[in-house]
Amino acid sequence: MRRVFLDENVDLALSVALTGCEVESVRSLGLSGISNGELLARIEKDFDVFISHDKGLVHQQQWSDRDLACIVIDSRSTRATSYIEGRQALMDAINGASPGTVRVLKV
């Protein structure tokens, strides 16, 4: 079972669609307002995949040394209804994610 962490800009409705994953979020763990670098340092030992809409993460963070993967969802909106049709592609990306990698997933 993959352990997935949702950034605060990801609609929590997505957590229901990620079947077979253990999902937590910035909100569920009370980590709102923390910088990306500090947030990643806090969660990387406990999670396999970090999911965000923040395209800047690709270049703003050093991923090769991280113990978790990052998936950036590139969709027309941050509402789950705008990318839920791409659920299978997202599940494939989660299941294929390796620590220290970043994937931008257009859905």
Percent of the chain that is helix, strand, coil (3-state, to 5): 30, 25, 45
Does residue 51 contact residue 4 with C-beta atoms inside 8 Å? Answer: yes
pTM: 0.94
pLDDT confidence of 29, banded at 50, 70, 90?
very high
Q: Where are the domains of the chain?
A: 2-106
| N- to C-terminal Cα separation, the chain | 23
pLDDT digits (tens, 9 = 90+) for 75-97: 888 888 877 778 899 999 999 99
d(CA 71, CA 34): 19
